[in-house]
Amino acid sequence: MGVQAGVLLCWLHVLCAVVFGDVWKVEVESKIDALVSSCVVLPCTFKYPAQEQPSSRIRAMWHTKTNRKDYIYNNDHTNVIENFKGRTKLIGSLGALNCSLEIDGVRNHDNGPYCFRVELGTSAKYSFVNNCVTIKMIEKASKPELLAETSVEEGQPLIFKCSVRHTCPSHQPTLSWNHTGKTITSYKDIGHGKWEAESSLTFIPTKEDDHSSVACTVKYHGSVEGEMQVTHQIFVKVEQANLSHFIIPTISGLGAALLVGLLCLLVVIKYRKRIADLQSRNDNTESEAHRRSTGMQGGEQQLICF
């Protein structure tokens, strides 16, 4: 009988280990970055025993690891410690087993660690003190990353991409440009409690854009300090095709003008020479007539004398 009781007790221990050890689970990021004065989201999912399904009665809490009664979040807001009142909220659905927590207005002493606790009615309760989250405070934000070509051809599309990584998807940072064009903004989860916001700018550069600087500016939620702007200088090359389109007609026009001018000059020279010949003939004719006239008059006088 004692052996049977021992075997039964052993099986009970195994069963309890399966139900209350393997099924009560939580998944969190053990370490996560946060910008001071902005916000941070602690990703969290959990599981509880299959026989316990009162999702409408699930109560969720987050507390400090050193004291389980120091709640930074509680369904009953009056139980939240003074330092976190009004700054925390669940952004996940407990019915979907999502226990993600947002902390707003992050302060440089909000390091944690913080642990999730779930209560199913009055009997089933569990604090995941072996899976807690520690927050690393970032005092100043790093400047955004900007990707683009430096040297471009006039008339060809130019694409800029500006991106930042952050830890608060409920308050996405905004990205803006100092140049007009088509902009597209996207957000994605890159895992491990980090997200990325990216903005692309597309425009057609002109010669006026040569040696100009395109700037991307980021605006975070809260009063974040740091380098919020990054610039990129571009150099615009004039297309050879466009240059030839300009030079060839110009040269052709000048050549045609010179040819017409030369022809006009030849015509003028020719007609001047013709006019000079005509004038010379007229002068010779007049001289001959005058000479004859003078000769006749002399002859008459001679006749009269005799």
What the chain holds in terms of domains, given with CATH numbers, is: 23-138 (2.60.40.10), 141-237 (2.60.40.10)
Is residue 14 within 8 Å of residue 22, measured between CB atoms? no
Q: How many CB atoms lie within 10 A of CB 42?
A: 25
What average pLDDT does this structure show over 236-254?
A: 60
What average pLDDT does this structure show over 74-101?
A: 90
Element (H, E) at 158: strand 158-166
Token pair 């010179």 is at which residue? Answer: 258
| Residue 19 pLDDT | 45
In percent, the amount of the chain with pLDDT more than 90 equals: 35
- How far the first Cα of the chain sits from its last, in Å, is 199
Mean pLDDT computed over every residue of the chain: 79
In order, the DSSP letters of 52-83 are ---GGGEEEEEEESS-TT-EEEESSGGGB-GG
The secondary structure of residue 19, as a DSSP letter, is I
Range ranked top by mean pLDDT from 17-21, 57-61, 86-90, 299-303: 86-90
Q: Round to whole Å and give the CA distance between 135 and 115.
A: 12
Q: Is the pLDDT higher at 103 or at 295?
A: 103
CB burial of residue 199 (10 Å; 0-12, 13-18, 19+): buried
* Dihedral in degrees, nearest 10, Cα atoms 117, 66, 114, 39: 130
Lowest mean pLDDT among 52-61, 72-81, 188-197, 216-225: 52-61
| Residue 207 pLDDT | 81
Q: Round to whole Å and give the CA distance between 146 and 195.
A: 17
| Residue 44 pLDDT | 94
Q: Round to whole Å and give the CA distance between 131 and 125.
A: 16
Q: Round to whole Å and give the CA distance between 286 and 305.
A: 29
CB burial of residue 45 (10 Å; 0-12, 13-18, 19+): middle
Is residue 20 within 8 Å of residue 125, measured between CB atoms? no
What average pLDDT does this structure show over 274-290?
A: 63
Q: Round to whole Å and give the CA distance between 5 and 10.
A: 8
Is residue 116 within 8 Å of residue 46, measured between CB atoms? yes
Tallying the residues shown for the chain, one arrives at 306
Is residue 37 within 8 Å of residue 141, measured between CB atoms? no
Range ranked top by mean pLDDT from 99-113, 235-249, 281-295: 99-113
Is residue 288 within 8 Å of residue 282, measured between CB atoms? no
Range ranked top by mean pLDDT from 4-8, 31-35, 95-99, 282-286: 31-35
Decide if pLDDT at 2 tops 60: no
What average pLDDT does this structure show over 200-213?
A: 85
* Dihedral in degrees, nearest 10, Cα atoms 110, 112, 116, 117: -100
Tens digits of residue pLDDT in 136-151: 999 888 889 998 877 7
Lowest mean pLDDT among 58-62, 66-70, 146-150, 262-266: 262-266
Q: Is the pLDDT higher at 253 or at 70?
A: 70
